[in-house]
Structure 1
Amino acid sequence: MAQRLLVVEDSKAIAKVIEQLAKALGFEVTVAYNLAEVESLLQGGASFFAATVDYALPDATDGEAIACVLSHGIQAVVLTGKMDELTRQKILSQPVIDYIPKENSQAFLYLKRILHWQRTNQENGILVVDDSLSARNHIVELLKRRNFSVYVASDGVKALEVLEQHPDIKMVITDLEMPNMDGIELTNEIRKRYTRDRLAVIGISGASNGIHSARFIKNGADDFLRKPFCPEEFYCRITQNIENLNNIKQIQRAANTDYLTDLPNRRAFIQFSQSKIPQYVEQNTAFCLAMLDIDYFKKINDTYGHEAGDNVLKMVALYMRKHLPGAMIARLGGEEFAVLLTGVDDDQLYARLDDLRRELSLAQLSYENHQISLTVSIGVVFNSDDKLAAQMNAADQALYNAKENGRNQIVVSGQED
């Protein structure tokens, strides 16, 4: 069900712009053009995830609509054409998400970012570390306005324990002066355990000595804030660091994902397998590495066209996900796939691969008005403690033998004869 956004705006043109960008984010939008309409909606029991509120309305010229919306427990972003300091302070004295001056088109792009993060910030955990309860509660309150999942610790030692317990934490905000382990020591310990692309650290301090910001950065922090800080700067720095982490995650995903099938690519398969196979060997876990190739794939492309071939690759990927849950499945290139699979024993692993092979041989893959049949050949090596490259070569040779022996079959490395 779509979340509902209340747009309070007397300008129909601006209301339309906000409505369009909110709908693009998946919101269901209700527009109110004055305070009377807002009161009527809210008194009638309408509920909203959030609201954008124009500071000055025809029947509420001094921000009265803000208090009305907030009194109903609705998070609010304030848009204002007034830029004076008194108005700014009046807005920020209330628990609003943020305020945005209506200066130019950038205002609406910023609003879109805020609304996007309000919907998704719950996925981002932030740990607040401060021995002062009041300071800790202040930061927690600011973060909860932005819908972050918030955790707390009173010193660095407890913070490390919380980090181990909650892998969804993406950021640590730590004070400098704390007992047991201070913020600098904590930052240093964090960087021994978590890389910058996994966890961001923001140091804070009320000390007037400017050297502390440099000390935090040199010990692995990503940013620094001096107390007391204004909410605007706080939110800008938090959002920027969270966005940086998500941008890195998207880049990493693009670098490790096959663009066509959305499976991991060769690079991701090799990195994963090099990490996991030694663990399987050490723990005596039954596993196999298999190479799978679509038989006569060139004929499919020649007969039905390359778009049909692309569709076949996508469907084969879907079948592999369905029949091999929990396996590492990758497209190596062209029509060749790789699988790293664990199980109870060799017989079970073989049976799972053969079930996949059989299901694909019986399938009729639809493309436009065509029903496309196909088979696959599989080469597999079981429980090898050889290096990954040697295992992949062995499985590839077994795959070649499966092709030579008539296709649509599994050949186990070392049992070709």
Structure 2
Amino acid sequence: PQRILLVENSRTFTTMLKEAIEQRLELPVSVATSLAEAGRLLDEEQGWFLVLTGLVLADGDRDKVVEYFLSRGLRTVVVSGVYDEDLRKRVLQQQIIDYVLKNTPGSIDYLVWLVQRLERNRRIAALVVDDSMSARMYAASLLRMYGHDVYEAADGSEGLKAIEAHPAIRLAVVDQEMPGMEGVEFTRRLRTLRSRDKVAVIGISGNTDPSLIPRFLKNGANDFLRKPFSREEFFCRVSQNVDQLELIGTLQ
């Protein structure tokens, strides 16, 4: 089992969250109340999968806390007790997975779901099809941050070959504006190879044409994102579509 590090100075919150994760997900959780203690745990144990950290620690300010865990290559979720929009925006500019308010109703349930989603993502491959290298690399980097194995394709033909070659691909993020084969046509052809309950397709585009979304959906897409999209929206859409795939598999 992959280990989870919970760094927080609120004993009540850490007790509740640790028990919820260990009981519901059967994943081991270690607790630290300072950066120094967190560092000792990270050095003593192997197999760390995720860090859930607060921002108010005795030996680290807000920026130092996040920077410390990211510098060690750890997936990091920030759990804050105070809503501050400027702080939230500044923290989300760094490569963290999510920013969660711990004192809201349902925060424990959300964090348990988040941990479960990230743990399960390691067994779900994703495909990004986009002729723009920068856009493709950006989407792929986000999916890798969320734990997915990611394949990349620069056009529709290359994307279809990847679908046929890699049965583990369960999610495809597809741009509309591509030479040779647009995203809608790629989605239509993909559906001849994989049904909706096997691969979820999210279309993306900066085009404001109001007919584009229904065209994507009618040709087999599960969802659509308008460029530019925020990291939080991207994560929510991806996670909800993968959740639905798993739910369909369970029902079947």
TM-score range, shorter chain: over 0.9
Amino acid in structure 2 at the alignment position of 1:193? L
Task: Say which SS state the counterpart of residue 138 (structure 1) adopts.
Answer: helix
C-alpha contact (below 8 Å) 1:174/1:183 kept by paired residues = yes
1:180 matches 2:180: yes
Q: What is the CA distance between 1:166 and its match in structure 2?
A: 0.7
Structure 2 match to 1:76: 76
TM, length-normalised to structure 1: 0.58
Give the match for residue 241 of structure 1.
Answer: 241
Contact residue 3 and residue 26 of structure 1 kept, 8 A = no
Measure how far apart 1:30 and its partner are.
Answer: 1.6
Give the letter aligned to residue 83 of structure 2: M
Instruction: Give, in angstroms, the shift of residue 150 of structure 1.
Output: 0.8
Partner letter of residue 114 of structure 2? I
Could you say which residue in structure 1 is the equivalent of 2:52? 52
Residue 29 of structure 1: CA displacement? 1.9
C-alpha separation in 2, matches of 1:249 and 1:137: 30
Q: Which residue of 2 aligns with 1:220?
A: 220
Note the C-alpha offset of 1:168. Answer: 1.1
Equivalenced residue count is 250
Asked if the contact 2:205–2:226 (Cα under 8 Å) also holds between the matched residues in 1, the reply is yes
The aligned counterpart of 2:3 is 4
Provide Cα deviations, 1:143-195, integer angstroms capped at 9, x if missing partner: 00111111111111111111110111111110000011110111111223322
Whether 1:90 aligns to 2:90 is yes
> Aligned equivalents of 2:228 and 2:188: distance in 1?
24
1:64 Cα deviation (Å)? Answer: 2.2
Q: Deviations over 1:377-405 (max 9, x none)?
A: xxxxxxxxxxxxxxxxxxxxxxxxxxxxx
- Matched position secondary structure for 1:150: strand
Point out the structure with max Rg over C-alpha. Answer: 1
- Report the TM-score, using the length of structure 2 for normalisation: 0.93
- The residue identity in structure 2 corresponding to 1:195 is S
Does the CA-based 8 Å contact 1:129-1:173 persist in structure 2? yes
- SS of the residue corresponding to residue 62 of structure 2 reads coil
Residues of 2 paired with 1:114 and 1:55: CA distance? 19
2 CA distance for matches of 1:166 and 1:72? 31
For the 8 Å contact 1:155–1:181, the answer to whether it is kept is yes
| Deviation at residue 40 of structure 1 after TM alignment | 4.0
Counterparts of 1:305-344 in structure 2 under 5 Å? Answer: none
What SS is found at the alignment partner of 2:103? Answer: coil
1:14 matched to 2:30? no
Partner of 2:148: 148
Report deviation, 1:105: 3.8
The alpha-carbon deviation at position 75 of structure 1 amounts to 1.0
Does structure 1 conserve the Cα–Cα contact (< 8 Å) formed by 2:2 and 2:49? yes
CA distance in 1, matches of 2:52, 2:44: 18
Distance, in Å, in 2 between the alignment partners of 1:21 and 1:61 is: 28
CA contact under 8 A between 2:155 and 2:178: conserved in structure 1?
A: yes
* Residues 56 and 63 in structure 1, CA contact (< 8 A), matched pair in contact too: no
1:227 alignment partner AA = K
**1:78-129 CA deviation, whole Å, 9 max, x = no partner?**
1012222211111111111211112324111111111112222121111100
Offset of residue 233 of structure 1: 0.5
Q: Residues 79 and 95 (structure 1 numbering): CA distance in 2 closer, same or farther, change over 3 Å? A: same
Please give the secondary structure, in 2, of the residue aligned with 1:49: strand
Aligned equivalent of 2:37: 37
What is the alpha-carbon root mean square deviation over aligned residues?
1.6
Distance 1:65 1:18 in 2: 20
User: In structure 2, what residue type is equivalent to 1:125?
Assistant: A
Whether contact under 8 Å (1:53, 1:77) holds in the other structure is yes
Distance (whole Å) between structure 2 residues aligned to residue 58 and residue 35 of structure 1 = 8
Q: Residue deviations 1:7-41, cap 9 Å, x none?
A: 10000011111211222222222211123322444
Specify which structure has the bigger relative contact order, considering alpha-carbon pairs within 8 angstroms and separated by 6 or more residues.
Answer: 2
Gaps of at least 5 residues in structure 1 are 253-417
Q: In the superposition, relative to structure 1, how do residues 167 and 40 fare at CA in structure 2: closer, same or farther (>3 Å)?
A: closer
Q: Specify the code of the residue in structure 2 equivalent to 1:9.
A: E
8 Å contact from structure 2 (residues 164, 193) kept in 1: no
Show CA shifts across 1:260-284 (max 9, x none).
Answer: xxxxxxxxxxxxxxxxxxxxxxxxx
Deviates more, 1:242-251 or 1:52-61: 52-61
- 1:125 matched to 2:135: no
Maintained 8 Å contact 2:128/2:140: yes
**8 Å contact from structure 2 (residues 128, 150) kept in 1:** yes
